[in-house]
Structure 1
């Protein structure tokens, strides 16, 4: 499996929810540099700022102004919202994809005390997608909600991505510091309304809005002719496309761990 590039930290000043997954600027973490509005009081940074302003030592004292004060910019790790969009259309292959996601979710949430991640799962099948697991960090909720998820039917993948986009936007309003990672498990086929044209439009919109980091796990299997639609979807999303030797919980979790 190709190693993925880790998420870059958010820009300075855009702080994240502390966790243990992706590098980010957080309220806790190692000191990077002194900045205005940083955490605590950075004495050396404040002295330098006062000196640059032209402050002088009089009778062994320096008169500071509010503009002189500097705090610490700290770099640590953030927690994430991981949104799975899984193609559950078809039969056996759909069950395998769902089992892989379910196992990965359970694995991740069993470590939630350390990582503080949230996960959500959108099932893509039939006439419209379904949010089978709203954002949660509870392994008990995930276990209940992911039991007996139906499979089969058409593949309304554009609608599934649109639902993920709306979900990520809503969650960003609630927790602006928690960055989202979109994980799409699909062969890239779209047999619902609008077909591939609609899929390309939604993917382009997600990429343009820079709402999340995206990864596509290519689920196309077998046959002499490969359509390469998952790779095309990944390109539209500005995502990495990953092929795994065997699609199971360990493979999906492994992809997430490399982000």
Structure 2
């Protein structure tokens, strides 16, 4: 793939004193990363009323006038795939499309500094098959053999997604996370005493509260669809796509579109409200 421009893909606001200064915001009493031009403009209307202070200085500025710079930086994306690897008629197509999309994303990750990870869930557990990486070689090795078959522990997959994203936000505070969930939404293995459906909805609500941008790809055949993938998407506050003819390029383009959608989201790290 040939890109018209290099560098990181998404733009994000940053709390650090780095990045392009785009505007200013009031910061009374706090002198960190002051926007001097905006601070002077804020203080200008009060100069006549500050005659006592202006006996000592030519231009009187008070802490209440302080304006802080709002900066933006290019931020890397973290695309975490959560894939239902339980037995179904579509499992082969699902895995082929997922592998192809991951490798396609990684092909240009070195330019954009994006990172891609993969969690699969099947039988009674979720497995981090590919920890977040931008290494095509590591991905190829990890994707060569992925176990399939068994039941559908969807809650375990959502729980592991939360854990991975929390860990990544600690290591990379300005990362832009995107969770791609490929499933029919029909979880049938729970982690505790709740029903699998209730557990899945609860964990999806937590992901939504953490402001994780998510996408659900409904892998159920239209003739058998019970609407469970849409229910999951509603709890995640995420769009739900149905890709009947699932191919790697379709999934790759869907992911790219969603990455563009979060390009201007302000991130303070996962857990920030």
Which bin holds the TM-score, normalised by the shorter protein? 0.7 to 0.9
Count of matched residue positions in the alignment of Structure 1 and Structure 2: 239
Give yes or no for contact 1:39–1:73 (8 Å, CA) kept in 2. Answer: no
2:172 aligned with 1:183, yes or no?
no
2:8 aligned with 1:19, yes or no?
yes
Q: Residues 36-75 of structure 1: matches in 2 within 5 Å? A: 36=27, 42-52=35-45, 54=47, 61-62=58-59, 64=61, 70-75=67-72
Q: 1:93 to 1:20 in 2, by over 3 A?
A: same
Give yes or no for contact 1:218–1:241 (8 Å, CA) kept in 2. Answer: yes
Q: 1:59 to 1:30 in 2, by over 3 A?
A: closer
Q: CA deviation at 1:176?
A: 2.1
1:33-68 deviation line (CA, Å, top 9, x unaligned): 355479966442131133255367779943556665
- Structure 2 length as normaliser, TM-score? 0.76
Correspondent of 1:31 among 22, 25, 36 = 22
Q: Residues 102-113 of structure 1: matches in 2 within 5 Å? A: 102-113=99-110
Q: 1:136 to 1:156 in 2, by over 3 A?
A: same
1:56-82 deviation line (CA, Å, top 9, x unaligned): 777994355666554531345432222
What CA RMSD, in Å, does the superposition of the two structures yield over aligned residues?
2.7
Q: Secondary structure at the match of 2:90?
A: helix
**Greater Rg, structure 1 or structure 2?**
2
Correspondent of 1:135 among 115, 126, 132 = 132
Q: 1:52 to 1:167 in 2, by over 3 A?
A: farther
> What is residue 75 of structure 2 aligned with on the other side?
78
2-structure distance, mates of 1:99, 1:92: 13
Q: Residues 234-253 of structure 1: matches in 2 within 5 Å? A: 234-253=233-252
* Unaligned residue ranges in structure 1 (runs of 5+): 1-17
* Unaligned residue ranges in structure 2 (runs of 5+): 1-6, 259-273
Q: Secondary structure at the match of 1:258?
A: helix
Give yes or no for contact 2:31–2:66 (8 Å, CA) kept in 1. Answer: no
Q: 1:231 to 1:48 in 2, by over 3 A?
A: same
1-structure distance, mates of 2:160, 2:228: 20
> What is residue 94 of structure 1 aligned with on the other side?
91
Give yes or no for contact 1:169–1:211 (8 Å, CA) kept in 2. Answer: no
Give yes or no for contact 2:82–2:157 (8 Å, CA) kept in 1. Answer: yes
Q: 1:195 to 1:75 in 2, by over 3 A?
A: same
1-structure distance, mates of 2:32, 2:105: 31
- My pick for the range that moved more, 105-114 or 58-67, is 58-67
